[in-house]
Structure 1
Amino acid sequence: MMSAYSLRRRLLLWLFVATAVIGLLALADTWREALRTAQSVSDRVLVGSALAIAERVTVDETGALEVDIPYSSLEMLTSTAQDKVFYRVDGPVGTFLTGYADLAVLPPTLAGLAFSDGRYRDVSIRSATLVREVSTGERSIAFSVTVAESTLARAALAKAILVRSTIRLAVLILGVACIVWLAVTLALRPLDRLGAIIAERSPDDLRPVTADVPQEVSTLVQAINSFMARLDTALDALRNFTGNASHQLRTPLAVVRTQLALIDRSETPQQMAASTAKAQTALERAERVLAQLLVLARVDAATGVVALQSVNIVTIAKELTAEMVPLALQREVDLGFEGPDEANAMAEPVLIAELLNNLLGNAIAYAGHGAVVTVRVKEYPDGVVLEVEDNGPGLSASQIAQARRRRRGPPVQGLAPIKDHEAGYGFGLAITAEIAALFGAEIQLQTGSDGRGLLASITLRRAVGVV
């Protein structure tokens, strides 16, 4: 037995996994952006501090450079993160003037400003070197100001941005999860109603399910209705089969039982022979009914799944006619065939043979001694017609109408019951009609030529590509 799973939990799990993956990517991008933002802020402060120091570089009376470090410029670099600040002034460039002598000076650029990350005294730093010139009146002297600070403040700023982003993302995920949980609960209510509708039905209620469901569930409802229709068809076939079996076999078996009782009470050989002959006839009829029931079961099994193919109807008709000749001679029936050499139609070989076998068997059995039975195959532009005609007693107009309307199973209310000696004929015609329906055709019954006998015909579609 397959274990059940929660659709709600599965949806939430997939949502959480997808959101977590996207969230991790977003956090990674946020972290990089936070570092860039913190670095940008730090660089602006470094430049501001370097400019403040550069403005205090002057030329003394001897023409040398001197600087009065404004400590306010260094204080702007400090923060609550207890950053360490380092500076160095060189003037002229390459000549140490003041500050930390071992602090590295960055190579000058065209813009006169350079930034770099590094380590100084076992501390991670961010440094900036600013190159400027001061005039002595006669010439200009280039000097550089290098300012560095530890990256504690920058890391703290990036961490604060990341933490805030993480909290917002977590709140967003929880909010979406709650919304999805509620939305899935509401969305699954039609399925609950659908399950309740089906559960309330009785076992024999196979009517189509009608429920107000979303479009996404309509396919499921259609599949359930299709399954119910197929199940109903299968149950009908089973009921028809058992009903036909009991109905058709009851009479011949009763006749056999009665004749056996008469044989036991027979006083003369003639009476015994007569009862034996009647019992033999009843057994033959029971055998024929059993054979028809087997055909009926085969037709029920093929309903809806029969694969039509190109079949030479003439070949099958000739073979079956030849097989029936001994039985026709025994019944003193003149059996013949009329038709072209070849006529291809869309059918199933075994079932079309069973159809013709039923028509031929009925005609030979009920046409009477001395009757003429003819099997015909005719070709027309739109189809191939298969006919079986006899000149026996046939069926009356009311019996033909009854045979057209009757279906397998119990007699239809309002129709006169078929007489006992006609039951096999009616049953065989019902099977023939079922087989014809599988081919998309319909059995036609009418009075034979000259107003005598019965003419049964079926029109089959011509095989594709056959002229």
Structure 2
Amino acid sequence: MSYSLRGQLVRSLLLVVTPLWLLGSVLLALHARHEVNELYDGQQQIFARQLYSTLPMLAQQPAGSDPKAEKTDHQAVAVWNPQGQRLLVDSEGLELPYHAGVTGFHLLQHDDEDWRVYYLSGPAGSVAVAQENSERLEAISGLLLTQSMVWLLLLPFALGAVWWAVFRALQPLADLCRTLLQRQPDDPTPLAHPLPSELAPLLDSLNGLIDRVAGTLQRERQFTASAAHELRSPLAALRVQAELLTLLDDANARNAAAGKVMQGVDRASHLVDQLLALSRLEQQQTLPSQPLDWAQLAEQACQQVAEYSTVRGSHIRHQVSGGPLPAGEALLLSLLLRNLLDNAVRYSPPGAEVLLEISPQLIRVSDNGPGIAAEHLPHIGQRFYRPPGQSQSGSGLGLSIVRRIAELHGLQLSWHNRPEGGLSVELRPH
């Protein structure tokens, strides 16, 4: 199931920003309430001190008079002399209770409204200045509403900016996709596209994949071309022998031609088996691992080549004292040993001695044949390469298969002519 990375990033940002915005709004509301209360409390205190300063003049008014202050919305004032007689009051202040000798803020309720009252008392009398809490809440709401309107107006621009920033940040990926779409499958050139450091591992992995794919395609082309060339000769020979069968009347001649047909079929079958084995090995990067019994592997490989060695009159011996690997893929290692022994028997003269040695340091197969000319040694192991002058049939793939199995198991393949005569093929751990 596919999804948009850009949309996922935007959603993630919104999921993070929204709670932070809500938390910021709550903190803003608390701070606004504190500031508004502080402002209005200061105004009430200043007004109370101003009224208190007028007490001497108000005390000189005739007794029994009850002067009224000008009515103000949401506020109330009241002034008393030391005896508790009201000297000044507005319509709202009629309900304010008298508290002699009290200075400070009090809360009271009047007509289902909450009032915050500041009392200031002294030798000259007492003053009360009250204000409805709704007035303060209205001021706080106005501040929050203004802030909210600003945020709402900026929200589309903020979302657009976030979307643009995410789009800009992901643009290198889009450019990389276009570059990949324009590349040829067999182009081994590494990508050098500028990417953020966070995407550098992705670019390195892509370059590694490109190199492996290009190498695989190149090997497959070479493999296909070589396989077609190698198969052409036995198939052509088979056709010639088959045509001879239709022309020969002599039974012995027909039998001889049929024998050559069978040999050609065997050669082609062997070549196809080797090609399939090498093709499977080329595709493998890792192998299952299991404990290895090197003595058993050596015995099995010798038995598999025993029939052919008997025909050739060759003698195979093996010496096992451990092994270079404690674990590996037993079937492939058995194939490796069999190919080495088969090559040693096939390209040695009849009656040759072949020795298989396995120890913790190396695997060695040596024979007492003629060896290989020095000018041909560097080419041994190349696909389909067979030194000139060979009388034995073969595909030239045996050592290629051995080399690939060795690479998969971390073994290094080498060969050299022995001073006493013959060829020695060795495998050592890296």
Fold agreement, TM-score > 0.5: yes
Preserved contact between residue 417 and residue 423 of structure 2 (Cα < 8 Å): yes
Task: Verify: 1:391 aligned to 2:368, yes or no.
Answer: yes
The amino acid of 1:146's aligned partner reads A
1:223 equivalent among 185, 190, 205: 205
CA distance change for structure 1 residues 223 and 344 in 2, over 3 Å: closer, same or farther? closer
The amino acid of 1:364's aligned partner reads V
SS in 1 for 2:47: helix
Compare relative contact order (CA 8 Å, sep 6+) and give the higher one, 1 or 2: 1
Matches of 1:450 and 1:272, distance apart in 2 = 45
Preserved contact between residue 57 and residue 66 of structure 1 (Cα < 8 Å): no
Q: Percent identity?
A: 24
Matches of 2:389 and 2:99, distance apart in 1 = 119
Q: Deviation of residue 331 (structure 1)?
A: 2.8
Task: Verify: 1:343 aligned to 2:323, yes or no.
Answer: yes
Preserved contact between residue 53 and residue 70 of structure 1 (Cα < 8 Å): no
What residue is the counterpart of 1:430 in the other structure? 400
Matches of 2:3 and 2:20, distance apart in 1 = 29
Matches of 1:36 and 1:106, distance apart in 2 = 27
The gaps in structure 1 that reach 5 residues or longer are 135-142, 462-467
Q: What is the aligned-residue RMSD (CA, Å)?
A: 3.6
Task: Verify: 1:194 aligned to 2:193, yes or no.
Answer: no
The amino acid of 1:389's aligned partner reads S
1:446 equivalent among 375, 398, 416: 416
TM-score using structure 2 length: 0.83
What residue is the counterpart of 2:309 in the other structure? 328
What residue is the counterpart of 1:363 in the other structure? 344
CA distance change for structure 1 residues 387 and 372 in 2, over 3 Å: closer, same or farther? same
SS in 2 for 1:337: strand
What residue is the counterpart of 2:266 in the other structure? 284
What residue is the counterpart of 2:427 in the other structure? 458
Provide, for residues 241-299 of structure 1, a one-character-per-residue CA deviation record: whole Å limited to 9, x for no partner: 54454333333333232222222222323322322222222222223223322321331
Q: For residues 140-159 of structure 1, what are the structure 2 equivalents within 5 Å?
A: 143-159=125-141
Number of aligned pairs? Answer: 425
Preserved contact between residue 362 and residue 425 of structure 1 (Cα < 8 Å): no
CA distance change for structure 1 residues 229 and 192 in 2, over 3 Å: closer, same or farther? same
Q: Deviation of residue 29 (structure 1)?
A: 1.9
The amino acid of 1:89's aligned partner reads W
Task: Verify: 1:126 aligned to 2:136, yes or no.
Answer: no
The gaps in structure 2 that reach 5 residues or longer are none
Matches of 2:423 and 2:349, distance apart in 1 = 12
CA distance change for structure 1 residues 256 and 59 in 2, over 3 Å: closer, same or farther? closer
Preserved contact between residue 308 and residue 439 of structure 1 (Cα < 8 Å): no
Q: Deviation of residue 355 (structure 1)?
A: 0.9
Task: Verify: 1:163 aligned to 2:145, yes or no.
Answer: yes
Matches of 1:61 and 1:234, distance apart in 2 = 110
Matches of 1:250 and 1:53, distance apart in 2 = 121
What residue is the counterpart of 2:34 in the other structure? 36
Task: Verify: 1:319 aligned to 2:300, yes or no.
Answer: yes
SS in 2 for 1:424: coil
Provide, for residues 12-36 of structure 1, a one-character-per-residue CA deviation record: whole Å limited to 9, x for no partner: 4544454443233222222222222
